[in-house]
Amino acid sequence: MKVLDRKKLFLVNSILLALLVLSAAACTLLGPVRLDLSQALTHLFSSNPDAEILLRARLPRVLLGVAIGGGMAACGVVLQALLGNPLACPQMLGVSGGASLGGILGIIFFPNWLLPIASGRLGEISWIPLAAFLGALLSMILVYRFSLFHGRLHPYHLLLSGVILNSFIAAVIMFLNSIVDFYQAQGLLFWLMGSLSTRAYLTVGFIWLYILVGFLWLWSKGVSLNLITLGEDAAMYLGVEPGALQRQVFIASSLMIGAMVSVSGMIGFVGLMVPHVMRLLIGSDHRLLLPASFLAGGIFLCWADTFARILLAPAELPVGIVTAFFGGPFFLFLLYREGRRSLGL
Amino acid sequence: MNAIHTHNLTFGYKNRPVLHGVSLSVAGGEMLAILGPNGSGKTTLLKIFSGVLRGQGELKIKGKNIESYSRRELSQFFAVVQQEARVNFPYSAAEIVLMARASYHSPLTLENRHDLEVARTSMDLTDSLAFADRYLHELSGGEKQRVMIARALAQEPEILLLDEPSAFLDLRHQIQMFELLSRLNRERRLTIVAALHDLNLAALFFPRLVMLCNGRIHRDGAPGEVLTEKTIQDVYGIRVRIEHDSATKKPQLFIRPSVS
């Protein structure tokens, strides 16, 4: 019997982690400006242009990309498990829309709110991730309530009401965008498009914190996630309380999606494609699938963002375009191949 | 002590009552089939027994109210084989069977050697070890059902509920499955309650039959008492001839088509 054992768990994650570290290092060195690494490293903390680019521009961006790619992939995995649908993703559930709306309302009405860290001694941080989290959570609760009949969650209704809510929120965002003044509208648009471009280490650190907390919470539910893919009834027979699991997964993934949308907007295809590919490669046991997808998502977005930076240098592409260019055709191919296989062709 | 005991159990959706005052006791180690036409409440009754649906009235499992058990506790002595297994993700048969061990190990650990041993034994019992490493969605209906029974056995249950377990099996696999259930019932004193459509097979393999009709118990007893020409006429509205097989002494139905 081939089943998940310690060796496989350790081996797959170690290989992916090594690849992630290598990718992050390579992507930090790659860019439109050639870096003199020896110059940068010898004058790491003095004002040297090479060190500045390395530490101020590239490194935080790569770290942010890894967190967001990993977070998107992990959220994709758990939402797919919960809905029993391998094609579910955060965009389909109205969560990303809710996060965007939450962030936008925050920017319009309380643009200058900051959350002090350690009573301001360590600096201050934007409260927009929190607003986006609240937006994500509210929209998830809404979609959840509209799909709950007789205390049972109906995945079909969940998907449909999520898609409807997302379209509705898109209209609300456009409406808000047309009633604010020109400068604010510019700012909103910029925020909505999202990018991984230079952020302060403090922001990057906080995004990592949000994402790591959510991820560890989800990872601890690995066994229950395995069971819930068999349907609510089967999960109950095997000892899982589906309602409690659903609520926890929704809160944890809202936390992550809120944080991600607040800095980078919704970057498409990572949450859909990475889990799918990982399932083909390593199987569906969530105790392995979750960390492996997190690492693979980090690797994927790290490289996608590097392409976005250097492809049209010195101009920069939004990273979502790169992920869609890779992800769209690849995903269609996968679906086609699976369709043929299921027909025995 | 009774494995399952209900008194005056009632269940209904808003305008559609499904069960009316069902009182039934299943002793530990008993093997019982629940029969009845579509919509008579068989599946609902099983879902109430397993705690998926909550009815009004008394329901005691092993002498205690069902509400006093957590899902995890229930899953350690109560296993269910569903009508049809839905698996949308690529899991191997062995992985599916091992999921039965979830309530025995901590959510943060992998299955230990004992869990693997229990899974292997259960698959061996149901003749499904040969395709342990194949994906479940690649298996035939019969193979899939044997994996599902193996999963239920891997929970090491005292009570096994089955909801039309033979619906997708050919005759040979049906007989094999019922023989396996009889053996488990004899050798391990496993309490078995199965909802069935096939009255002849039920009469052959189950010592006690309960006939449901419109959410009520119509007849409860040995095959000879339950399967009578009158009962079938009353419950299913069809005319049949019933004869006792000379070898097994069990009643068997012969159907007379109304057009011939």
ipTM of the complex: 0.89
Residue ranges covered by each domain of chain B: 1-77+157-222, 90-156
pLDDT tens digit string along B46-62?
999 988 888 888 999 99
Q: Are B137 and B147 in contact (CB under 8 A)?
A: no
pLDDT number for residue A149: 79
Nearest to B116 among A1, A241, A285 (CB): A1
Those residues of chain B whose CB sits closer than 8 Å to some CB in chain A are 13, 47, 50-52, 71-72, 74-76, 78-80, 82, 85-92, 94-96, 98-100, 102-103, 105, 107-108, 110-111, 116, 119-120, 123, 132-133, 155
Name which CATH class applies to B1-77+157-222: alpha beta
Q: Do B90 and A233 touch (CB under 8 A)?
A: no
Residues B102, A239: C-beta atoms closer than 8 Å: yes
Show the low-confidence residues of chain B (pLDDT under 50): none
Segment A117-132 shows an average pLDDT of 64
Q: Is the pLDDT of residue A113 over 80?
A: no
Q: Do A3 and B92 touch (CB under 8 A)?
A: yes
- Alpha carbons B157 and B193: distance in angstroms, whole number: 12
- Residues of chain B contacting residue A220, judged by C-beta atoms under 8 Å apart: 107-108
The length of chain B, given as a count of residues: 260
pLDDT score, position A47? 72
Q: What percent of chain A has pLDDT over 70?
A: 90
Q: What is the pLDDT of residue A115?
A: 60
Does CATH place domain A6-342 in 1.10.3470.10?
yes
Q: Taking residues A137-155, what's their average pLDDT? A: 83
Burial class of residue A45, CB neighbours in 10 A (0-12, 13-18, 19+): exposed
Task: Identify the pLDDT of residue A90.
Answer: 77
Dihedral of CA A234/A238/A241/A245: which sign? negative
Average pLDDT over residues A61-84: 92
| Chain A residues in contact with B52 (beta carbon < 8 A) | 233, 236-237
> The tokens 């040979």 sit on which residue?
B172
Nearest chain B CA: its distance from A23 CA (Å): 29
In this prediction, residue A275 carries a pLDDT of 92
Q: Determine which of A168-172, A306-310, A335-339 has the lowest per-residue pLDDT on average.
A: A335-339
Q: What is the mean pLDDT of residues A41-67?
A: 80
Adjacent-strand bridge partners of B81: B162
Tens of pLDDT along A275-296? Answer: 988 998 898 999 999 999 999 9
Q: How far apart are CA B179 and CA B188, in angstroms?
A: 14
Question: Residue B199 has what pLDDT?
Answer: 93
